[in-house]
Amino acid sequence: MVPVLRCMVKPRFVVAGICVASSLSFSACSSTKPPSEGDLSSRYAAARQLVDNEKYDRAIIELESLMFATRATTMEDEVLFSLAGSYYKSKQYLLAIEIYKRLLEQTPGSRYAPEAQFMLAKSHMELSPDYPRDQEHTRRAIREFQLYLDLYPQRKDASELADDIEILKGLVQLNPDSADYRRRLAAAQSESERLGRIQESQKNIALLREKLAESTYAIAERYVKLDKYRAAEVFYEDVLRSYPDTVYFEKAWTGKIMALVKRGKWFEARAALEAYDRQFPENMKNVEDYREKIMKHFTNS
């Protein structure tokens, strides 16, 4: 008779134990009633009170519990938005990103979706490091801000919107019982807030693009210090191609001319000098030394 080893028996008991535990767990869960909407509402109200009092750590504990309890209910987006906001305000930006993305994916039609998209971009921006470091969050922030601008374009300019709000405020004062005037005023004020987010998005995109340009330009400059002018030229070209709207555009042109002169690429250097002259004729003094070397080369050849 073959002896039975402990290692052969143990897994059976483990599996059996798991099955029993699973059965008991399922039985217990199936006999437990889900929380009522009223219970969830009162719990959420308490969590919101913590948020309003800036007790974010305690609020997060409550809201994380509610996140699962309110799944597929009318409260889901509100809970997710409050949780993401609590993470953001407590500077837990990676967690804020995760929850804002979850809100946008699970409840895309939510009234919180526009602001969630904007805050998703701001969360990435908060994680954007100084220019010498990896700029992945910088690029993601730009993409998310641009997506916000694409999804929620500007409808009215600021002055027109301000006039509408003033008129509607006057109408509400004259007719305080008019639900229509109050609704239109609330919509105009909401639109004004959205316009502010649009303007901030545009400003942030410009700032983030400057950082990316600076990061690329700095790489080119490091290669120059190593006398690796071909590699430097590649990164100067990247600035010229990708960031023409930044202050590093002109600097990259001068860097490219310098790199071409250093490499003895005289025809390319002359073409780059002429291109620089067309774009920055008032700044030719910045490349005067390179111009003299280029002209001297063709005079002597």
> Which tens digits make up the pLDDT trace of 38-54?
689 999 999 999 999 99
Q: Which residue has the tokens 């960031």?
A: 243
The label of the residue with tokens 């004062």 reads 173
**Rounded to an integer, what distance in angstroms lies between the CA atom of residue 286 and that of residue 188?**
51
What pTM did the predictor assign? 0.79
Contact residues for 140 (Cβ-Cβ < 8 A; gap 6+): 124
Total Cβ atoms within 10 A of residue 110: 17
**Residue 118's closest CA among 77, 158, 151, 83?**
151
* Residue 3's pLDDT band (cuts 50, 70, 90): very low
Q: Which domains does the chain have, with CATH numbers?
A: 38-127 (1.25.40.10), 209-300 (1.25.40.10)
Q: pLDDT tens digits, residue range 146-191? A: 999 999 987 777 777 778 788 888 888 888 888 887 888 887 777 7
pLDDT average, residue stretch 111-139: 95
